[in-house]
Structure 1
Amino acid sequence: MAETRRPVASLWIGEKLHYLNQLCLKSHLLHGHPVTLYCTDDVRNAPEGVEIRPATEIMDIDMKLVEGTSASFLSNVFRYKMIRKTGAIWVDCDAFCHKPFPDEWEWIFAGHGMRGALNCGVVGLPRECALMDQLIDYYDNLPDYPAWWNKRQRKQMDKLKEKGGALSHAEMIYKTERTAFGPQAFTWFAQQTGDIERAMSPDVLYPVPFQLNDIFYDPHGRVEGWFTDQTVSVHLYTNGTKPWWRKNPPLANSYVARMCDEVGIEPAAALEE
């Protein structure tokens, strides 16, 4: 029986988990992390042991805004408000727990991909800190343009404004730059507060670059070749996964198939319809 460790939490917008999400949530449980899944709907296929709580305990979820952007859009503000309220570590539902998070880690975030920008798929922050203040203020009081945008991006959004229509300010920012509420915002504000110096190297939380995410489904892939002794979490990047892998069980001996066997998840029982 794994010892009890720091709680982790995530958000699910929808009625049903995909097997990859079941896999990742259960992996944290098996390493001793209590897992809370905040939900907008009555999710019934979460792994046993995952505590289901209403998302409204943290903040109201504007489903109209979700429809105009994406399910991940509001999770970008939800995660910081959740951390501030509960102190739990935020984990995306596609972050697989390779090893438990050390209890002494207070600041948990890292760069990812080939460019080195920060990702916010796994985040631990002090409940009270300047970075948290700036992130929450950014979402609660959206600027005319994100501060890091160049002239091209500003002109692109201006064109959306000129067209008029029913788009909200948040939707126009999102349609101009999809990551303006996620990694780009997190990277910018970490630079402003100086906390970017606390960033862990990619191998800790995102050992496989997202550009290579198909390797998780390749029976001949060498996924573990990307891991180091420091690797704690493995991001599976479901947003970038090809439709085939979402709708079909993983091939035998692929990393995902092996982890499902190890954790005790049946992929065929929770495929994307």
Structure 2
Amino acid sequence: MLPEIKTLWIGGDLSRLERVCLASFIANGHKVTLYTYGDVGNIPKGVDIDDANKILDESKVFQYGKATGSGKGSYAGFANYFRYKMLYENENTYWVDTDVICLKPFPKIQEIIFGEESPEFINNAIIGTEKKYNHLFLELCEYCENPFVIQKWDSWKIVLKKIYGRYYGGSHTDYIPWGLTGPKALTGFVKKLDLDSYTNDSRTFYPIPSSDWEAIFYPDNTELLERDLKDSFGLHLWNEHLRRNGIEKNRVFDKDSLYEKLISRFELERY
């Protein structure tokens, strides 16, 4: 049986981007569950809806504050906490961000699975767990509950921000630096617990790096990019770049772009 795919959406209706991403997992045979805290429209046919309060109470939801600069207003910090808690409580399950396109059925999970986005960092947009109660996710949850605790992998800049947030910001979520509980934390705890062997190389889930995000949406060397995806199970679209650059997620891009070609290939608009 294929692993189940689970994710979270906070806010209004899904945009075209989230819709086609969720549809791509349905198209590849996965069961997909979307957690929400309220009514959400534009959900693809075949996606199951579940109450996000079963994982974390809605009272815990927060948005990044001024400490993150252009990241202000994002729910990414809360979503980090949510995914670790969900993974701790589930089995045979992948968490995927809503800006991930499934290229082929995701692999069977052997204990846990994740992938590096670069030689330095393991990304947390795609994480799988075989069984409940994995200690990695417990440690990550505890860190999310106390994000101002200094970790040995923190840079001196992050240490200063944590000290400031703790003593002058009262440890309020407004003072949590961008990405604190995301890839940096996952990478740090994986190394701390000696779990590096579960890390897949970037070709598995992150074949196009964040720095090249525009190549996904604009028709430049599309054929070359498609060949680069042959060993990949998923493609992260790096939606945060779209948000920060004011690019509408409902937009239909050039038909020769990789993004639009994948939508056509899997007939994702029909879901």
TM-score (norm 1): 0.85
User: CA distance change for structure 1 residues 67 and 149 in 2, over 3 Å: closer, same or farther?
Assistant: closer
1:94 is the counterpart of 2:95: no
Q: CA deviation at 1:197?
A: 2.5
The alpha-carbon distance between structure 1 residues 58 and 206, as it changes in their structure 2 partners (threshold 3 A), is same
Report the equivalent of 2:7.
10
- 54-63 or 85-94, which deviates more: 54-63
Which residue number in structure 2 is paired with residue 270 of structure 1? Answer: none
CA contact (8 A) 2:148 2:171 kept: no
Distance 1:156 1:6, change over 3 A: closer
1:139 aligns with one of 130, 137, 144: 144
Classify 1:59/1:121 alpha carbon distance in 2 versus 1 (closer, same or farther; 3 Å): same
The 8 Å contact of residues 25 and 102 in structure 2, kept in 1 or not, is answered as yes
> Which residue is equivalent to 1:44?
41
Check if 1:85 corresponds to 2:89. Answer: yes
Change (3 A) 1:41 1:54: same
Identity of aligned residues (%): 27
Alignment of 1:262 onto 2:262: no
Q: Which runs of 5+ in 1 are unaligned?
A: 268-273
- Per the alignment, residue 211 of structure 1 pairs with 211
Which one of 1, 24, 29 corresponds to residue 27 of structure 1?
Answer: 24
**Deviation at residue 265 of structure 1 after TM alignment:** 4.2
Question: For the Cα contact (< 8 Å) 2:114–2:123, is it kept in 1?
Answer: yes
TM-superposed deviation, 1:60: 1.1
In structure 2, the residue corresponding to 1:43 is in which secondary structure?
Answer: coil
**Within 2, Cα distance between the matches of 1:228 and 1:252?**
21
Length-normalised TM-score, structure 2: 0.86
Measured in 2, the distance between the counterparts of 1:66 and 1:156 equals 17
| 2:193 is aligned with 1:197 | no
| CA displacement, residues 146-177 of structure 1 (integer Å, 9 cap, x when unaligned) | 44223332224444556x46x644332x2xx3
Question: Match of 1:239, as an amino acid?
Answer: E
SS in 1 for 2:153: coil
Residue number among 104, 114, 127 corresponding to 2:132 in the alignment:
127
Aligned length: 257
| Other-structure match for 1:57 | 54
Q: Which residue of 1 aligns with 2:228?
A: 226
1:17 partner letter:
L
1:103-140 per-residue CA deviation (whole Å, 9 max, x = no partner) reads 35442201104x53100000012423321221122123
- Structure 2, unmatched stretches of 5+, are 66-72
- 1:61–1:74 contact (8 Å) kept in structure 2: no
Q: Per the alignment, do residues 250 and 182 of structure 1 end up closer, same or farther by CA in structure 2, a change over 3 Å counting? A: same
- Do 1:81 and 1:136's aligned partners in 2 also have CA atoms closer than 8 Å? yes
Aligned mates of 1:104, 1:266 — CA distance in 2 = 29
Give the root-mean-square deviation of aligned CA atoms.
Answer: 2.3
Residue 15 of structure 1, CA deviation: 1.3
After TM superposition, the structure 1 stretch with the greater mean CA deviation from structure 2, 134-143 or 152-161, is 152-161
* Structure 2 CA distance for aligned equivalents of residues 132 and 108 of structure 1: 12
Shift of 1:82: 1.1
Aligned partner of 2:156 among 151, 160, 163: 151
Give the equivalent residue in structure 2 for 1:185. 185
Structure with greater helix percent:
1
Whichever residue aligns with residue 96 of structure 1, its letter is: I
- The CA distance in 2 between the partners of 1:5 and 1:156, in whole Å, is 42
